[in-house]
Amino acid sequence: MTGFCGIFLREMLIIRKRIFKMLLSLSVSPLLYMIAFGLGLGSRLEVENVRYMTFLVPGLIAMSTMSQSFAISSEINISRFYWRIFEEFQASPVSSLAIALGETLSGIVRGLMAAGVIIVLGIIFGVNLRLSFFLWISIWVNAFIFSALAVNTAMLVKSHADQAMLSNFVIIPMAFLCGTFFSTSTLPPWAYYVIQALPLTHTSKMIRASALGYPMPWVSFFVALGFGLVFFVSSIYTVKRAQV
């Protein structure tokens, strides 16, 4: 695992340099969603027997963790095609496993930061979540899935444009359809079954259940973990194949 620390530390140093900008930008979208959907549209709504804001915040945690963890794909992409920093990793005696692990963990850190920001905003908006061990495990699994996926996509795409297209076709639909803003039980059966095949549906369930003190949906937990492991193993392979 020579070099893993180098990859991870590099990403952490970059985060440290940008910390204030990052925290600020991580707060903007969730804040707008909370004001528009939570306070505006949802002020008189109840979903699954809780007020809408309480239902919404765990969904936002799931969505934001996903987006921020997946955002490392753009970072890797820029470092690969524009700054060519990724070449330094590839030219060093570091295994594909170490590169994939370092990048995935850095994505997880970003995801956890995003979750932390929303939890703080939730507290400000009067939403009391159970900050249990299971909540953090659920957030971690969500971040793991999407950072591992991000490493895959960053290695497979050939340009920044491809990267943007992937986000538009994969990440944005998931963000809106996988039970982040509404209960999936209200969907028609065909749509319900389609979205069960998407990892965010399961992590949303896990995060909402653990945040609101409901029993952990273990089937979703193992399905999500399975997604994460598959993406991580394939990321090792894609890193290895990212030669020309």
Partner 1 sequence: MVSQNDLLRDHQKVEMIRIGNLHKRYKKVIALNGLNLDIPAGSFFGLLGPNGAGKTTIVNILTTLTRPDSGRVTVNGFDVVKEPIRAKLEIGVVPQSINLDMELSARENLFIHGLLYGMSQKDIRQEGERMLSFVGLEECADRPVKDFSGGMKRRLMIARALMHSPRVVFLDEPTVGLDVTTRRKLWELLKKINQEGATILLTTHYIEEAEALCDMVGIIDFGKLIALGSPKTLIQRVGPIVVEQMAEDGIRTHFFSNRKEATSFIERLKGSALIREANLEDVFLELTGRRVNQ
Q: Which residues lie near partner 1 (CB under 8 A)? A: 2-3, 5-7, 9-10, 13-14, 17-18, 83-85, 87-95, 243-244
User: In this complex, which beta carbon is closest to partner 1, that of residue 96 or of residue 138?
Assistant: 96
User: In this complex, which beta carbon is closest to partner 1, that of residue 13 or of residue 164?
Assistant: 13
Residue 4 CB, shortest distance to partner 1, in Å, is 9
Q: Is the CB of residue 153 less than 8 Å from the CB of residue 159?
A: no
Residue 179 CB, shortest distance to partner 1, in Å, is 37
Residue 7 CB, shortest distance to partner 1, in Å, is 7
Percent helix, strand, coil in the chain, to 5, is: 80, 0, 20
Residue 65 CB, shortest distance to partner 1, in Å, is 24
Residue with tokens 């979750």: 115
- The neighbour count for residue 162, using CB atoms within 10 Å, is 13
User: In this complex, which beta carbon is closest to partner 1, that of residue 192 or of residue 237?
Assistant: 237
Q: Which tokens is 168 given?
A: 């538009």
User: In this complex, which beta carbon is closest to partner 1, that of residue 86 or of residue 232?
Assistant: 86
- The neighbour count for residue 197, using CB atoms within 10 Å, is 10
- Kindly give, in sequence order, each residue whose CB lies less than 8 Å from that of residue 166, ignoring residues fewer than 6 positions away: 73, 153, 157
